[in-house]
Structure 1
């Protein structure tokens, strides 16, 4: 999924890409803050990031 461009957004949040959080499974919508690294975003919040399964 690609990030929306300024001209294609037009205030319609339903048109934004989304994907599930790896920890809780809730859908998270694209945010402008995540624009440069949307493919790397895995968790919807700091709480989910801390609650993730430990590696190893």
Structure 2
């Protein structure tokens, strides 16, 4: 489908090219478990101090 404005093409609507792959929950959990969860206030203090420079 082509959308026109004053006779000129401005947009083309088409179907999605490929379906999305399902997320592997086990693999995602392994990746996120290895990341450090830094929600402590010292982390936020360093971020604020770094922004002030």
TM-score by length of 1: 0.24
Higher RCO (CA-CA < 8 Å; seq separation 6+) = 1
Select the structure of larger CA radius of gyration: 2
TM-score by length of 2: 0.25
Higher strand share: 2
